[in-house]
Structures are given as structure tokens and as C-alpha cells.
């Protein structure tokens, strides 16, 4: 991708406290992609869950030291680049998970980052 959608992100501080980190831990612990449609989706669920859990681990470890929207979305971009070639359903479900993380972090918009990687989802 030649165009970097992070160039469109309007950076702003985000409020992070201990309860935010606890919520991220909860998101990391719960089963993901349970509603992914299709048969024999175990490998896809495992692959997407691994990418998402790695993102959550990075956020848990770093967001208190880097409490900005741009830092979080830069971490998102690292994970989004890994799911670009997944099928539409997988990308849609991944995007839903990222929106849940944004809700926990109080980020209202990805400023086009999700759409750039997930195809306008």
C-alpha cells in the first residue's frame, strides 16, 4: 500500500487508567471470532485470534506510556496489514473486534484507517 492512511489520523490524547487496562485484559481473555460463518473455520479463528491477541498484548504493555490515538492506531495498522488478505468475513469480524478496542480506549474514529485496510467496512 503506497498511501499511508495514518497520514490522515488526527492525533489526540486518550484517557487511560487501571480500569482501561483491565478491560483490555478481559478482551484478550475472551474467545474471539465465535460467530465467524462457514464450516471448518478453526484455523481462520486461530489465525485471527493470534493477531488480535498480539495487538492487545502490545496495547496492554504500551498504551499507558503512549496514551495517544496515533500510537494506538499505529499499533492497529501493524495488525491490519496482517489481515489484508483474509476473506471478507474475516476482515469484517476483525474490524468489529478493533471497534470494541476503540470503545474501551475512548477512540471515536479511526479517521479512515479501518476502511483503508478492511475495504470500507
Q: pLDDT exceeding 70 applies to what percent of the chain?
A: 98
Q: Residue 63: inside a domain, yes or no?
A: yes
pLDDT bracket for residue 94 (50, 70, 90):
very high
Contacts of 43 (CB under 8 A, 6+ apart): none
Number of domains, the chain: 1
Q: Residue 17: inside a domain, yes or no?
A: no
Q: Residue 35: inside a domain, yes or no?
A: no
Q: State the chain's mean pLDDT as an integer.
A: 93
pLDDT score of 120:
54
Q: Residue 34: inside a domain, yes or no?
A: no
Average pLDDT estimate for 53-58:
98
Q: Residue 20: inside a domain, yes or no?
A: no
pLDDT bracket for residue 121 (50, 70, 90):
very low
Q: Residue 85: inside a domain, yes or no?
A: yes
Domain residues for the domain of 56 are 43-121
| Separation CA 96–CA 48 (nearest Å) | 12
Predicted confidence (pLDDT) per residue in 83-92, tens digit:
998 988 999 9
Q: Residue 116: inside a domain, yes or no?
A: yes
Q: Residue 108: inside a domain, yes or no?
A: yes
Give 20-85 as a 3 state SS string: HHHHHHHHHHCCCCCCCCCCCCHHHHHHHHHHHHHHHHHHHHHCCCCCEHHHHHHHHHHHHHHHCC
Predicted confidence (pLDDT) per residue in 17-53, tens digit:
999 999 999 999 999 998 888 888 899 999 999 999 9
Amino acid at each position: 500500500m503506497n498511501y499511508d492512511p495514518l497520514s490522515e489520523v488526527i492525533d489526540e490524547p486518550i484517557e487511560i487508567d487501571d480500569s482501561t487496562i483491565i478491560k483490555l485484559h478481559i478482551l484478550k481473555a475472551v474467545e474471539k471470532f465465535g460467530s465467524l460463518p462457514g464450516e471448518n473455520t478453526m484455523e481462520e479463528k486461530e489465525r485471527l485470534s493470534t493477531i488480535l491477541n498480539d495487538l492487545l498484548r502490545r496495547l496492554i504493555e504500551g498504551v499507558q506510556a503512549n496514551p495517544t490515538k496515533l500510537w494506538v492506531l499505529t499499533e492497529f495498522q501493524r495488525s491490519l496489514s496482517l489481515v489484508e488478505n483474509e476473506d471478507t468475513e474475516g476482515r469484517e469480524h476483525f474490524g468489529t473486534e478493533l471497534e470494541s478496542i476503540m470503545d474501551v480506549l475512548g477512540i471515536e474514529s479511526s479517521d479512515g484507517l479501518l476502511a483503508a485496510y478492511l475495504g470500507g467496512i
